A and B are shown apart, each in its own frame.
Chain A
Amino acid sequence: MPETGDLLVTVRWHERAAVVTVAGEIDLVTAPELDEIVTGVVDERPEALVVDLRKVTFLSSAGLQVLAAAHQRLGERGLRVVSTSHVTTRPLTSTGLDTWIGLFTTVDEALASGTEV
């Protein structure tokens, strides 16, 4: 488990889908390190990338930029975000990013969303 300041990030693979679990505060201090990890995962060309933000206690625009960049590289429906609190959902909805990036309440739901077509 790489530790980036007080940000804890884990990466797990479920076949061709990656699940990145983040805990801590995503701000100007930690966003570059998160970007590095997420970019590395996207480089592996996952069919889906699930970013679990449920243990994130602060999310600023620096973190939104990491998600937007991943979305741009993965294409439509590739990036899914798991978010259940005001502190992470509000920044995504108030900037309209949620119209491009799917929001889910559990990792399983996010993983399954691509297979229901």
Chain B
Amino acid sequence: MALPEDNLPEDTQPGGTPLSCHDVVAEPGALRALRHRLTAWVRAAGVPEERAQDIVLASYEALANVADHAYGGDGKGLLDLEAVVRPDRVEIVITDHGHWRAPVDDPNPVSLRGRGLLLLRASADHADITPGVDGTVVTLGWNLSPVRSH
């Protein structure tokens, strides 16, 4: 499913509605559209701007890793993204049906690879990557200060 850019559905309204995107094609254009949708959702949920940026970045790096590794960059794989916001926490689960490839250790401090996973871990409070026979589940979590009252 290719998500239309900047054409946000009704479910990105505030009030803690979960965001659920299934069978997104793991190719750059579709992942950009999914990122835009996630950005709108996380802002609508009232998450502070810098936290929102961290959430979007870590999620995008997980999605990009799927596109780059799980499906070998051929753009034929599909992935799912589920996002929920609770009063004190945001949780995002990204599931693919390929094989997660961990970055190769490289002694060069400015090497060209492996930075995505570093960014992912640095931008999330909790990051769990669980490879399985049918694919990989990436669970990302962020703690929120309960600043908004409805």
Contacts and interface: CB of A to CB of B under 8 A. Distances in A.
Interface of A: 25, 27-29, 58-62, 64-65, 68-69, 71-72, 86-87, 90-91, 94-97, 99-100
B118 A94 contact: yes
Chief secondary structure at chain A's binding surface: helix
Name the 5 nearest CB pairs between A and B, nearest first: A94-B122, A28-B28, A61-B116, A61-B115, A29-B28
A100 B53 contact: no
Given A60-B60, A65-B115, A69-B112, A25 B32 contact: yes
A68 B60 contact: no
Contacts of A62: 64
A60 B57 CA distance: 7
Contacts of B68: 28
A95 B119 contact: yes
B23 to A, nearest CB: 19
Interface size class of B (residues with CB under 8 A): 20 to 34
A86 B53 contact: yes
Interface string B107-148: 001111101101100110000000000000000000000000
> Is the contact region of chain B dominated by helix, strand, or loop, or is it mixed?
helix
A83 to B, nearest CB: 13
Contacts of B56: 58
A95 B118 contact: yes
B110 A90 contact: no
B26 to A, nearest CB: 10
Contacts of A64: 115, 119
Contacts of A61: 61, 64, 115-116, 118-119
Interface in B1-32: 28-29, 31-32
A95 B115 contact: yes
